[in-house]
Chains A and B, each alone.
Chain A
Amino acid sequence: MMLKKIKLNLLIVFLCLSVVSVPARASLTIDITLWLDNATPIAIVPFGWKGVGSAPMKMTDVISNDLSRSGQFAPMKENEMIETPHEGRDVNFATWRNLNMKYVVIGKIKMQARNSYQIQFQLFDVEKGSQMAGHSFQAKENQLRRLSHHISDLIYEAITGERGAFDTYLAYITVSRNRKGQNRYRLAISDSDGYNEQILFESSMPIVRPVWSPDGQRLAYVSYASGRPQIYIQNVFTKNTQQLTNFKGSNLSPAWSPDGRHMAMSLSKDGNSELYIMDLNSRRLSRVTRSYGADLEPAWFPDGKSLVFTSDRGGRAQLYRIDVNERGATGRAQRITFDGVENLRPSVSPDGKRIALVHNTGGQYRIAILDLESEQLSLLTDGRLDESPGFAPNGSMLIYASQARGKGVLAAVATDGRASHKMRFTSGDVREPAWSPYKQD
């Protein structure tokens, strides 16, 4: 097998915006690094506004940033636009063609009543001179940011043919120190661009490994609130919490089965860490592995018939795959990684064809993707201690934990390696990100 290293040249810091996102909590800074070759040029014309005073928000900024972060689009700078139409009949395709734009997005926001807005947008193919998508929405002011992400999804899908994943959540852990030097751990969720942070759970004890349920309604995570690591499930919307495990030892690595009915996990109650599958209805446990080493960090394949996991049964940590059903293992574990000193913490792509992992060579922990068919491993990041990779629900990007200026930050990278961005929160260290499934409402 070959280690294919994606070239990390042509890096251009494209955008750096700093906005106070949540009152009195944290300000968020997003640094986007892009490779500008192959990104599709698109003009997102600032939406028109009809109403009293100024528009409630600049939706096109959110849409522009979404499309930039994907690495697949290079939105035109506003000050380079010669025309700024808000009506379809005013779009002059020759103008945009001369500016080398492939697509143009226009729209308008109309105030209908107090806190009630009508939003319309249209996407045009400049080459063909025709409309590709057009939609009209009603929204309240506090829904405009989410609607902007939804419009990004519609644009992304109309152009690429793939479903967009901008209107989704991130879950993550933040750690800050109070004046007494004590750590404060928080389980939080935000929009996929890091805005609208909401705290779900706070503790003076560590919290690790939040994972989303397949329906996007709940998070499972590991908390030391009881003094030792136990697995909990919390509803993201009602915040109701239940403790799932109460075994001695380390209770780690919750992973929901694709049908949401079982939870794979790593328990050390019977000796060293081994994999188990719990039926979430009956709470019955089935043991999956029996090995001399520690088996942990299981992730399900989309068909629910096998797990990939980390084990150091062979000395150093490597990834293994094992077939399972609800009663446990149905085959023997097969090692699937061979490059580098260590490979850990697998995350399976939504189509089941690729595995994102933490790859250690020379003491540097970086995010890599293993293509299961070609067996090729591609490095995607060049950090010192990058960890916790997780796919966006459309498989186009990975979220992971990295370091910047001595702090833990969240970072995302396109799975083809051509764009990355880092999200810095001023409140403390941020770690253990998990990208939510598509929203179901």
Chain B
Amino acid sequence: MNKWNKFLLVGLLASFGVACTSTSETQTDETQTQQDAQTDSRSGAQDQTTIQSDPFTDPSNPLSTTTIYFDFDRSEVKAADREVVMAHARYLADNADVKIVLEGHADERGTREYNIALGERRAKAVSQLMLLQGVSQSQIDIVSFGEERPVALGHDESAWSVNRRVEILYPGR
């Protein structure tokens, strides 16, 4: 499955290239474009081997995950999410000029200002793990929006669970 995804991704990347060079390509129907693009990517890969999958969009790469979720009123990074945080930390440690923003968020329960403090504590928990990996403090900016910017607007656990989060944002990308 992963392989197929990667394959499609490369194909899509290549199809953008095709679309750029030949505007008439964009007029053809979708299936046709995709087939063309796949053929093109195979030959392209053989010829130049320059097309690489972007680690931030490759689903098999932990860097492609940029949101960490939290339990209600908690700010500990769950064990399952540590790999993702570590991957970002390694990337930042290797690229000292790259800066990120850790945006903390909370669900709607509790008061607005308490939730801003809670979101900040979550972002700080992620930041703490990164600092331990050798990331410099100056690479990390933290801002908490509390409950002000939910991704899901519902009033039940299915909405709350996705709103309790820290987003790892690369402003330069």
Contact = CB atoms under 8 A, between A and B. Distances in A.
Interface in B111-132: 111-114, 116-118, 120-121, 124
Contact of B117 (A266, A316, A365, A385): A266
B167 interface: no
Given A208-B148, A228-B143, A272 B121 contact: yes
A296 interface: yes
Contacts of B145: 206, 224
Given A206-B145, A227-B143, A363-B109, A250 B114 contact: no
A241 interface: no
Interface in B140-158: 142-146, 148-149, 155
A384 B110 contact: no
A383 B112 CA distance: 16
B149 A206 contact: yes
Contacts of B108: 385
B73 interface: yes
Interface centre among A250, A312, A384 (most CB of B within 10 A): A250
A345 B120 contact: no
A46 to B, nearest CB: 43
Contact of A294 (B109, B112, B121, B142): B121
A272 B117 contact: yes
B111 A250 contact: no
Contacts of A312: 114
A269 to B, nearest CB: 11
A432 interface: yes
A229 B116 CA distance: 9
B157 to A, nearest CB: 10
Interface size class of A (residues with CB under 8 A): 35 or more
B120 A273 contact: yes
Interface string B152-173: 0001000000000000000000
A249 B149 contact: no
A344 interface: yes
Contact of B120 (A249, A344, A360, A432): A249
A345 to B, nearest CB: 5
A253 B114 CA distance: 10
Interface string A166-178: 0000000000000
Given A250-B120, A268-B120, A387 B112 contact: yes
A387 B111 contact: yes
B166 to A, nearest CB: 14
Nearest to A315: B73
A358 interface: yes
A344 B109 contact: no
Contacts of A253: 113
Contacts of A297: 111, 113-114
A317 interface: yes
Nearest to B101: A227
B22 to A, nearest CB: 33
Interface in A278-308: 294, 296-297
Nearest to A316: B73
Contacts of A431: 112
A310 B73 contact: no
A209 B113 contact: yes
A388 interface: yes
A297 B146 CA distance: 14
A252 B117 contact: yes
Interface in B75-119: 108-114, 116-118
Contact of A310 (B114, B121, B146, B148): B114
A252 B149 CA distance: 17
A432 B114 CA distance: 14
A342 interface: yes
A384 B117 contact: no
A252 B113 contact: yes
B111 A345 contact: yes
A317 B110 contact: yes
Nearest to A310: B114
Interface centre among B73, B108, B111, B117 (most CB of A within 10 A): B111
Interface in A402-441: 431-432
A273 B145 CA distance: 14
B158 to A, nearest CB: 15
A410 to B, nearest CB: 15
Nearest to B144: A250
Given A228-B143, A316-B73, A268 B117 contact: yes
A382 to B, nearest CB: 16
16 contacts: A206-B148, A228-B143, A249-B142, A253-B113, A272-B117, A272-B124, A296-B113, A297-B111, A297-B113, A344-B111, A344-B114, A345-B113, A358-B111, A360-B110, A363-B109, A385-B108
Given A208-B116, A297-B113, 6 more contacts: A273-B120, A294-B114, A310-B111, A363-B109, A385-B155, A388-B111
